[in-house]
Amino acid sequence: MKLYNLKDHQEQVNFAQAIKLGLGNKQGLFFPNQIPKISSKTLLKILDMNFIERSSKILSMFIGDEIQEQKLYQSVKNAFSCSIPKIVYVEENIACFELFHGPTLAFKDFGARFMAQILSYLNHQNEVMTILTATSGDTGAAVAHAFYKMKNVRVIILYPQGKISEYQEKLFCTLGKNITTIAVNGSFDECQKLVKQAFNDQELKIEIGLNSANSINISRLLAQICYYFEAFSLISTQQQKKIIIAVPCGNFGNLTAGLLAKSIGLPIESFIAATNANDTVPRFLETGQWSPNNTISTLSNAMDISQPNNWPRVEELFKINNWNLKDLGFGRVSDNETIKTLKKLDHLGYISEPHAAVAYRLLKKSVQKDEFGLFLGTAHPAKFKQSVENILKKIIILPKTLEERNHLPLLSHKMKPDFNKLRQFLLKK
Ligand SMILES: *Cc1c(COP(=O)(O)O)cnc(C)c1O
Distance 275 CA to ligand 1 centre (A): 10
Between CA 284 and CA 292 the distance in angstroms is: 9
For ligand 1, atom 4: residue with the closest CA: 250
Distance 254 CA to ligand 1 centre (A): 7
Distance 45 CA to ligand 1 centre (A): 30
Distance 42 CA to ligand 1 centre (A): 30
The segments of the chain whose pLDDT lies below 50 read: none
Distance 10 CA to ligand 1 centre (A): 31
Mean model confidence pLDDT for the chain: 94
Q: 135-156: per-residue pLDDT in tens?
A: 877 888 999 999 999 988 999 9
Between CA 125 and CA 103 the distance in angstroms is: 29
Contact 240, 267 (CB under 8 A): yes
Atom of ligand 1 nearest to the CA of 137: 15
Contact 357, 392 (CB under 8 A): no
For the four alpha carbons of 45, 50, 51 and 55, in that order, the dihedral sign comes to: negative
Atom of ligand 1 nearest to the CA of 100: 13
What pLDDT is recorded for position 429? 65
- Name the burial class of residue 181, with classes exposed (0-12), middle (13-18) and buried (19+) by CB atoms within 10 angstroms of its CB: buried
Residue partners of 109: CB distance under 8 A and separation at least 6: 82, 83, 102, 103, 142, 145, 146
Distance 314 CA to ligand 1 centre (A): 15
Q: 98-138: per-residue pLDDT in tens?
A: 999 999 999 999 999 999 999 888 887 778 889 999 987 78
Between CA 242 and CA 164 the distance in angstroms is: 36
Three-state DSSP at 30 gives: strand
Tell me the DSSP string of 162-229. TSS-HHHHHHHTT--TTEEEEEESS-HHHHHHHHHHHHH-HHHHHHHTEEE-STTSHHHHHHHHHHHH
Q: 167-176: per-residue pLDDT in tens?
A: 889 999 999 9
The pocket around ligand 1, CB under 6 angstroms, is made up of: 106, 108, 137-138, 215, 248-254, 302-303, 355, 378-379
Domains within the chain, CATH numbers bracketed: 69-104+218-396 (3.40.50.1100)
Ligand 1 pocket test target in 105, 303, 380 with most atoms within 8 Å of CB: 303
Between CA 148 and CA 139 the distance in angstroms is: 14
What pLDDT is recorded for position 215? 66
